[in-house]
Amino acid sequence: MNIEPFEPKKAKILVVEDTNMMRVMMLRHLSQAGYENVASVEDGQQALDYLEEHPVDLMLLDIQMPVLNGYETLDRVKNDPRFASTAVIMVTAVDKIESVAKCIEDGADDYMPKLFNPILLPAKIDASLELRHLRKVVASMSEA
């Protein structure tokens, strides 16, 4: 069996954030951390439209957004077979434990407060991407 090498810095990442300042800050942190393929959109509907044309490995998803909020976006992503394997980290100002639990139960891989630690964010991204990669390896082994 030939397993492709895993390079998290080359993963395709989509930032879904409606606040321009926060979106720019996240893009800057990701660039400084060495991620090469990062795009951004302003709301959940734009994220779904983007995924139709550009599959991604991981989404950084806000909850409170216009048009389609993060809960609805997460639900649609995880219930669409084309996108279900996309890793999702919720990055949001909503910090109630019920919200954290709902997101994890609905398929989010992780959850971070919006005023994120720039050292912790890449660690969480890499861990989520590694888990996604391992799931794909196991699935391909099961099919063989």
The CATH number linked to 93 is 3.40.50.2300
The string of pLDDT tens digits covering residues 77-114 is: 999 999 988 999 999 877 788 888 889 999 999 999 88
Decide if 77 is inside a domain. yes
- Give pLDDT, residue 58: 96
**142 to each of 74, 86, 128, 136, 138, how far by Cα in Å?**
27, 20, 21, 10, 6
Residue type, 93: A
Whether 1 shows a pLDDT value over 60: the answer reads no
- Give pLDDT, residue 68: 94
Share of the chain above pLDDT 90, in %: 65
Kindly report whether the global pTM for this prediction surpasses the value 0.85.
yes
Decide if 83 is inside a domain. yes
Decide if 20 is inside a domain. yes
Decide if 28 is inside a domain. yes
Burial class for 50, CB neighbours closer than 10 Å (0-12, 13-18, 19+)? middle
Structure tokens at 128: 């989520």
- Give pLDDT, residue 138: 81
Domain that holds residue 105: 9-143
- Give pLDDT, residue 78: 95
- Characterize the bridge pairing of strands 12-16 and 37-41: parallel
The C-alpha atoms of residue 120 and residue 123 are separated, in whole angstroms, by 5
